[in-house]
Amino acid sequence: MKSYTRVYLDYFGYSEDDYIMCEYCNRAKAVDIHHIYSRKRRPDLVNNIENLMALCRECHTSYGDNNNYLNSLIDKHKEKISELPLP
């Protein structure tokens, strides 16, 4: 398992076997952990939870690397993070 996938699962309390909904469409099973800012562009954020979001394959292909959706991806992920209680 990739380190950033483990970071995501641990942060949200998921196991590898859990059904995780796509953070963008909330309809399909997420199969990819997407880097909002690409690993190449921001290698310092590779394992940063604020840069990792779960996407289904369709959303990952359609929106993941499309800069026109960057702000939308950020907003959706902030919503997901805000759902957790503060430590």
pLDDT tens readout for residues 26-80: 998 999 999 999 999 999 999 999 999 999 999 999 998 898 999 999 999 999 9
Closest C-alpha to 8, from 49, 56, 55: 49
pLDDT for 60: 95
Q: How many domains does the chain have?
A: 1
Q: How far is CA 36 from CA 72, 74, 85, 87, in A?
A: 10, 7, 23, 24
Residue 62 falls within a domain, yes or no?
Answer: yes
Residue 87 falls within a domain, yes or no?
Answer: no
Closest C-alpha to 25, from 67, 65, 53: 53
Rounded to the nearest angstrom, the gap between the alpha carbon of residue 28 and the centroid of all alpha carbons in its chain is 14
pLDDT for 13: 94
Task: Give the residue numbers spanning the domain of 65.
Answer: 3-82
pLDDT for 86: 62
Residue 75 falls within a domain, yes or no?
Answer: yes
List of residues 6+ apart from 1 with CB closer than 8 A: 16
- The structure's pTM equals 0.89
pLDDT for 83: 87
